[in-house]
Amino acid sequence: MPEINENLISELEKIQDPQELIGHLYRTFGNRCAIGTSGQLTGTAMIDQAIQAGITKPRVFTIDTLRLFPETYQLFEAIEKRYQIHIERLEPDSQKLGEMVKEHGEFLFFDSKEKQELCCGLRKVEPNDRALETLDVWLAGLRTDQSQERSGKSRFEIITDKKGRSILKVAPLLFWTEKQARDYCAVHQVPIHKLLNVNHNGWYYESLGCVICTTPIGPTEPRRAGRWRWFKDDANKECGLHVVKKDE
Ligand code: SF4
């Protein structure tokens, strides 16, 4: 298996077509490669592309924060049925979750940015770290049009797991627009999250995370404005999964 380093990235940079790239990565890394999806358009589109690329059983995982919309669970079941795959569900550590709730309450994320990050850290980041321990390549559905922070991302990024091991994080659809993702799903009949089709006077869900913390956005709002609306700092709308740590 190739080493995860800048040389590998230089080689992979030559593959522009997302489907070709996804197929190549699965063929090269097998089950050490996986799509991480939270049910957004690009996650499901990547699963479809892997299948189209000839990967019959692409490894796919999701982080079940135990606070997802019922429609998110329905989507995962629809994807599993359509593509005959199993989506691995990683949940928060139940003991730590119990301790956090006991100390700070169920709705600690309303209290402060720090407590929201504590909750996201325990419900999302820590289970995701567990998934990364089993991977060499993490396929993520990030898009540059989602936020200012994400507009500066690269398709390839070398990150490290808890033990300092290098993992290649790849965003094959980074430069797709939301319309491209929606069009792809429509043309290829990819199951999409039911709430993504809800539109009330121009208000719609651009993405789906946990209930309460995710709300629809208005016609002129930034795409991640629907997350944690009670915080004034509109710039910080990340849960920690896709944030590059300062010491990296
Ligand atoms: S989005 Fe909200 S409920 Fe979900 S993990 Fe983050 S703070 Fe907790």
- CATH assignment of the domain containing 176: 3.40.50.620
Q: What's the CA-to-centroid distance between 123 and ligand 1, angstroms?
A: 7
End-to-end CA distance of the chain: 24
Q: What's the CA-to-centroid distance between 214 and ligand 1, angstroms?
A: 9
CB 34 within 8 A of CB 139: yes
Does residue 106 register a pLDDT over 50?
yes
Residue 247 has a pLDDT of 37
Atom of ligand 1 nearest to the CA of 209: 1
Predicted confidence (pLDDT) per residue in 170-212, tens digit = 999 999 999 999 999 999 999 999 999 999 889 999 889 999 9
In a domain? residue 28? yes
Pocket test for ligand 1, best of 63, 68, 124 (most atoms within 8 A of CB): 124
In a domain? residue 215? no
In a domain? residue 220? no
In a domain? residue 96? yes
What's the burial of 28, exposed, middle or buried (CB within 10 Å: 0-12/13-18/19+)?
middle
Return the residue whose CA atom lies nearest to atom 2 of ligand 1: 213
Return the residue whose CA atom lies nearest to atom 3 of ligand 1: 210
Most confident range (mean pLDDT) of 81-85, 203-207, 232-236 is 81-85
Residue 241 has a pLDDT of 67
What percent of the chain shows pLDDT beyond 70?
92
Q: What's the CA-to-centroid distance between 167 and ligand 1, angstroms?
A: 25
Return the residue whose CA atom lies nearest to atom 5 of ligand 1: 120
In a domain? residue 210? no
Does residue 248 register a pLDDT over 90?
no
| Residues within 6 Å of ligand 1 by CB | 65, 67, 109, 116, 119-120, 123-124, 209-210, 213, 239
Return the residue whose CA atom lies nearest to atom 4 of ligand 1: 210
In a domain? residue 230? no
Q: Alpha-carbon distance 239 to 119, whole Å?
A: 9
Residue 134 has a pLDDT of 96
What percent of the chain shows pLDDT beyond 90?
79
Does residue 245 register a pLDDT over 60?
no
Pocket test for ligand 1, best of 109, 128, 207, 208 (most atoms within 8 A of CB): 109
Atom of ligand 1 nearest to the CA of 115: 7
Does residue 214 register a pLDDT over 80?
yes
Host domain of residue 160? 6-192
Q: What's the CA-to-centroid distance between 43 and ligand 1, angstroms?
A: 20
Confidence of residue 4 (pLDDT cuts 50, 70, 90): very high
Does residue 242 register a pLDDT over 90?
no
Q: What's the CA-to-centroid distance between 210 and ligand 1, angstroms?
A: 6
In a domain? residue 199? no
Confidence of residue 230 (pLDDT cuts 50, 70, 90): confident
Predicted confidence (pLDDT) per residue in 125-170, tens digit = 999 999 999 999 999 999 988 766 667 788 999 999 989 999 999 9
Which residues are known catalytic residues?
Answer: 239
What is the number of domains present in the chain? Answer: 1
Does residue 246 register a pLDDT over 60?
no
In a domain? residue 56? yes
Does residue 236 register a pLDDT over 90?
no
What average pLDDT does the structure give for the chain? Answer: 92
